[in-house]
A and B are shown apart, each in its own frame.
Chain A
Amino acid sequence: MVRSTKKIRLSASLVLLVLLTAFLPAPAEAARLGYLEQMPIEAFAKLREIERHQLKIAEKFFLKGEYKAAAAEYDKFLTLYERSVGGPYSLLMWAHCQVKLRLVNTAVRDGFKSVVDYWPDSHEAVVASFMIGKCHLLNGEPSKADKVFAQLAEDFPKHSLATLSRVEMLGIASARKDLERQVELWTDIAFDTPKTRETAPHRSSAARSLATHFFQQDQFQKGVEALGTYYDQNRPEYLHAVHDVCNSVVSKLFRSSGTKSRAEKLGDSLISFVEKALPLDSKEKKDQARTRDLLERIADVQKSLDRDKQVLAAYERLGKVLGMDDDILGSMAAWHKGKKRIDQARAIYGRYKDKVNGRRAIASSYREEKNYEEAVRQYLSLIELDKDREDQWQRDVVGTWRDAAKWDKAIATYQTLLKVDPDRYSDYNWGIAECRERQSKWNEAILSYRQTDNFPEAYFRMAECHRHLKKWNEGLILLNQARSHDKVADRAQHRIAQFYEMSGQKEKAIKSFQVTCKKYPKSRYASISHAHLQTKYGISVTLGGATDE
Chain B
Amino acid sequence: MPNSSRGPVVLTILASIGLLYFWADWLAFQQLSLTHHWSGFGLGLAGAAWWLERARKMQRVRRLLVFSLSFFPIWLFLVFALNEMGGGEPWGTLRSYSATGGIFLAFLIGLAWLTWFVERQSRIFQLVRLKKAEGASRVGPLQAMHSSVALPGSGSRVWDPFDMDAWYYGRKRQKLRQSVSVTFGYLVFFLLVVFLLLQLSGCRELYEMPAGGGEQKPNQPVVKVQKVIKKKIIFNPLSKVIAKVPPIEEIKLQLMEITKHAYTVGYGKGAGAGFAGGTNRGKVRFIRLEYSGGDWDQGIDADLNMLVQYNLRTQHKIAERPETRKIIQLKNFPVGKSPPIVYMTGQKNISLGKTETDVLREYLTNKHGMLFADNGGSAHWGNQFKSLMNRVLPNVSYIRVPLDHPIHRIPFPIPFLPYVAPHGGTDALAWVVNGRIVAYYHPGDIGDAWADDHAGVPAQIWEACYQLGTNVIFYGHTEYSKWLEARKKSD
A residues with CB within 8 A of B: 101-106, 138-141, 143-144, 175-177, 514, 517, 521-524, 526-527, 529-531, 534-535, 540-549
Contacts and interface: CB of A to CB of B under 8 A. Distances in A.
B416 A547 contact: yes
Contact of B418 (A104, A176, A540, A547): A547
Given A101-B403, A521-B421, A542-B455, 14 more contacts: A102-B404, A104-B405, A105-B405, A138-B402, A139-B399, A139-B432, A140-B437, A141-B435, A176-B395, A522-B422, A527-B378, A527-B444, A540-B455, A545-B461
Given A541-B453, A545-B461, A139 B402 contact: yes
Interface in B407-443: 415-423, 426-427, 430-432, 434-435, 437
24 contacts: A102-B403, A104-B402, A105-B404, A138-B400, A139-B432, A140-B396, A140-B399, A140-B431, A143-B434, A177-B395, A523-B422, A524-B379, A526-B421, A530-B455, A531-B377, A531-B378, A534-B298, A534-B377, A540-B453, A541-B455, A545-B455, A545-B458, A547-B418, A548-B426
B464 interface: yes
A535 to B, nearest CB: 7
B374 interface: no
Given A105-B402, A139-B405, A548 B456 contact: no
B381 to A, nearest CB: 10
A545 B462 contact: yes
Contacts of B422: 521-524, 526-527, 546
- The 5 nearest A-B residue pairs measured at CB: A545-B457, A140-B432, A531-B377, A530-B421, A541-B456
B93 interface: no
A547 B431 CA distance: 22
A542 to B, nearest CB: 5
A526 B462 CA distance: 17
A545 B449 contact: yes
B397 interface: yes
A39 to B, nearest CB: 26
A98 to B, nearest CB: 8
A527 B416 contact: no
B364 to A, nearest CB: 14
Contact of B456 (A140, A141, A175, A544): A544
Contacts of B449: 545
Contact of A531 (B347, B398, B458): B347
B395 A175 contact: yes
Residue among A101, A138, A521 facing the most chain B CB atoms (10 A cut-off): A521
A144 B415 CA distance: 26
Nearest to B415: A549
A448 B430 CA distance: 51
Interface in B441-485: 444-445, 448-449, 451, 453, 455-458, 461-462, 464
Nearest to A529: B421
A276 B481 CA distance: 69
A545 B378 contact: no
Contact of A547 (B395, B399, B455, B461): B461
Contact of A102 (B402, B423, B448, B462): B402
A177 B402 CA distance: 26
A522 B377 contact: no
Contacts of B378: 527, 531
A540 B347 contact: no
B404 A540 contact: no
A145 B201 CA distance: 45
A527 B378 CA distance: 7
Nearest to B426: A548
Contact of B455 (A140, A543, A546, A549): A543
B268 to A, nearest CB: 23
Contacts of B431: 140
A103 B403 contact: yes
Contacts of B461: 545-547
A531 B456 CA distance: 14
Secondary structure of the B contact surface, majority rule: loop
Interface residues of B, number: 46
Residue among B396, B427, B435, B457 facing the most chain A CB atoms (10 A cut-off): B457
B419 A102 contact: no
Interface of B: 298-299, 347, 377-379, 395-400, 402-405, 415-423, 426-427, 430-432, 434-435, 437, 444-445, 448-449, 451, 453, 455-458, 461-462, 464
Contact of B404 (A103, A144, A544): A103
B457 A543 contact: yes
Contacts of A138: 399-400, 402
Contacts of B455: 530, 540-545
A540 B402 contact: no
B222 to A, nearest CB: 21
A547 B399 CA distance: 19
Contacts of B464: 547
A273 to B, nearest CB: 38
Contacts of A104: 402, 404-405
A177 B395 CA distance: 8
B426 A522 contact: yes
A530 B423 CA distance: 9
A404 B167 CA distance: 86
Contacts of A139: 399, 402, 405, 432, 435
B88 to A, nearest CB: 16
A527 B426 CA distance: 11
B451 A531 contact: no
Nearest to A101: B403
A521 B462 CA distance: 14
Nearest to B464: A547
Residue among B397, B420, B423 facing the most chain A CB atoms (10 A cut-off): B420
Given A138-B402, A139-B405, A547 B421 contact: no
Contact of B397 (A105, A106, A175): A175
B398 to A, nearest CB: 8
Contacts of A177: 395
Contact of A530 (B416, B417, B420, B462): B420
A522 to B, nearest CB: 6
A547 B378 CA distance: 18
A102 B414 CA distance: 13
Contacts of B448: 530, 534, 540, 542
A527 B382 CA distance: 12
A526 B423 CA distance: 8
A4 B226 CA distance: 87
Contacts of B421: 517, 521, 526-527, 529-531, 542, 544-545
Contact of A527 (B379, B402, B434, B458): B379
B396 to A, nearest CB: 8
A522 B416 CA distance: 14
Contacts of B462: 545
A237 to B, nearest CB: 34
Contact of A548 (B416, B430, B435): B416
A103 B417 CA distance: 13
Contacts of A534: 298, 377, 448
Contacts of B456: 514, 540-545
B303 to A, nearest CB: 14
Contacts of A529: 421
B423 A531 contact: yes
Nearest to B301: A540
Contacts of B453: 540-541
B457 A535 contact: no
Nearest to A547: B416
A549 B377 contact: no
Nearest to A136: B435
Contacts of A549: 415-416
A144 B434 CA distance: 10
Contacts of B399: 138-140
Contacts of A535: 347, 377
